[in-house]
């Protein structure tokens, strides 16, 4: 499956709870979301596998890839399209070996040192951030700001998606960094109308 990073939705179970995870995700996809990452730090593997299988069936109709956050066993069991790992959450070599050459594998990067260590043979894209402070991930690293983000984007050997505190109000500024896309959590999961919110991102800041 091809990778279009332009509008990358990262799910948050609490923020999606009122409408329901699947309804929230599919509304955002109908609005133009190009990638969905299933992230849930508290669900069991079994719960997450069941959720991923349901989502995968829905997303396949739109040819939108489903990426699993951190949990390689969930990615394997659900036949997800890929895996996204943090610096301390998995081994890219092992992930590529187990998931195969067709899987989409992303890696979070916060510093130039981490960027220089990236294995470009095994990683497909990089998640750069946090750009701004964000309550959806309270243990995040120090925010990069636009200057720090731009430095990483310009130095990256791979496609990039910016993440962390991104909203309609600051998306234009984030895009000046040259990043290939925006990863959004609360601005879509908490939106009154996720489809309309996604359309606003894409209409205001065309990629």
Phi and psi, residue 67, nearest 5°: -110, 135
pLDDT tens, per residue, the chain with 207 residues: 679 999 999 999 999 999 999 999 999 999 999 999 999 999 999 999 999 999 999 999 999 999 999 999 999 999 999 999 999 888 999 999 999 999 999 999 999 999 999 999 999 999 999 999 877 666 667 899 999 999 999 999 999 999 999 999 999 999 999 999 999 999 999 999 999 999 999 987 655
Catalytic residue among 56, 96, 122, 137: 137
Are 154 and 114 contacting, i.e. CB atoms less than 8 angstroms apart? Answer: no
Report if residue 42 sits inside a domain: yes
108 flagged as catalytic:
yes
CATH number at residue 50: 3.20.20.70
In a domain, 1, yes or no: no
**Of residues 6, 34, 78, 108, which has the active-site annotation?**
108
The pTM of the full predicted model, rounded to 2 decimals, is 0.95
Task: Please check whether residue 158 lies inside any domain of the structure.
Answer: yes
Total number of domains in the chain: 1
Q: Which domain holds residue 159?
A: 7-204
Q: Provide CB contacts within 8 A for 130, sequence distance 6+.
A: 110, 137, 140, 141, 143, 144, 163, 164, 165
54 is catalytic: no
């Amino acid at each position: 499956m091809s990778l279009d990073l332009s509008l990358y939705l990262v799910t948050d179970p609490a923020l999606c709870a009122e409408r329901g995870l699947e309804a929230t995700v599919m509304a955002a996809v109908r609005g133009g979301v190009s990638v969905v990452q299933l992230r849930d730090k508290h669900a069991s593997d079994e719960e997450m596998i069941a959720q991923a299988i349901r989502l995968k069936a829905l997303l396949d109709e739109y040819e939108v890839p489903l990426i699993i956050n951190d949990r390689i066993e969930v990615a394997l069991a659900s036949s997800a399209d890929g895996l996204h790992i943090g610096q301390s959450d998995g081994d890219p070599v092992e992930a590529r070996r187990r998931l195969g050459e067709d899987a989409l594998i992303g890696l979070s990067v916060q510093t130039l040192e981490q960027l220089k260590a990236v294995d470009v043979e095994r990683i497909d894209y990089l998640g750069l951030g946090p750009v701004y402070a964000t309550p959806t991930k309270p243990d995040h690293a120090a925010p990069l700001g636009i200057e720090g983000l731009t430095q990483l984007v310009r130095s990256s050997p791979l496609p990039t998606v910016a993440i962390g505190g991104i909203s309609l109000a600051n998306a234009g500024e984030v895009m000046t960094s040259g990043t290939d896309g925006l990863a959004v959590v609360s601005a879509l999961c908490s939106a009154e109308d996720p489809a309309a919110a996604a359309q606003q991102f894409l209409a205001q800041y065309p990629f």
